[in-house]
Amino acid sequence: MKKSIDKKRAAFLDYLQKQRGYSKLTVKSYSETLEEAFKHIEIIDEKKHLLFNLMPYRIHIASLNAKTISKKLSAIRSFVKYLNDNGMQVLLRADESIKVAKTLPKPVSHEHIMEALEKAELQEKLVVLMLYTLGLRISELATLKVEDINGEWIRIIGKGNKERDIPLLESVKKLIDEYLSVFMVKKYLFEKNGERLSENSLRYMITKVFGRVALSVTPHQLRHSYASSLLNSGAPIVDVSELLGHSSMATTQIYTKLGSALKQQNYDKAHPLCKDEK
């Protein structure tokens, strides 16, 4: 039975990479989780189906934080769904979900971004603005091709090879044109010696830009800033969800909670009775 599960596991990982378009890093994470899990999961053959009892594994990982446990269980559920979709009947035992507190993202203020851009070089400025005005993931920016930029729109290939079109600001389009006249790229928007810049290279660029104004900023915070700015200015959540490439609006709703938190903070600072209570 173990050999059969191992073969299915290898096929599942191949499916994630080739058909679902998952990154090598994500597939590696799935692989490590499943390898670890099946050292502990109890597999019971109940004739009509297999039963995976997760309790021994859950005891093994009980000391980890809730978010990590939740991710590991999610990987197992995905594998079991794959097995059921491919002719192997499997049921899970002790797979109850872990409640994970959703942390609010920390966007960078528009003023701080503008301050950093004043001291940025051409390529650095374009990297920051592409993240801030398009809400891209760093992986999407790293794989962005010149041919995907078309007039007032830009086509993004997101998670699972899903495509979405995002409007391009005229000022950013002009900056792209200026950049392309200086940097003779062949295929990808951000290249060096004919090879696309890695995600780490782009992250380092962001670190340098904001380090000049004594700020520590990640690429994902710029994506948060994009989302929060749109929602706080009244953009419909369904549109923002589509622009971000979220598979579920529940993910986008985290940003609406952020807006509420900021409103509460502003209320606490502004209302005289709040001041009296402090």
Task: Report the distance separating Cα 223 and Cα 134, nearest Å.
Answer: 8
Give the gyration radius of the chain's Cα atoms: 23
Query: Which of the residues are catalytic?
Result: 137, 159, 220, 223, 246, 255
Report how far Cα 247 is from the mean position of its chain's Cα atoms: 11
Instruction: List Cα–Cα distances, 12 to 38, 57, 75, 160, 164, in angstroms.
Output: 14, 20, 11, 15, 26
Q: Which residues contact 97 (CB under 8 A, 6 or more apart)?
A: 70, 73
What's phi and psi for 219, nearest 5 deg? -55, -35
Q: Which residues contact 22 (CB under 8 A, 6 or more apart)?
A: 16, 30, 159, 160
Instruction: List Cα–Cα distances, 27 to 12, 31, 162, 165, in angstroms.
Output: 10, 6, 17, 26
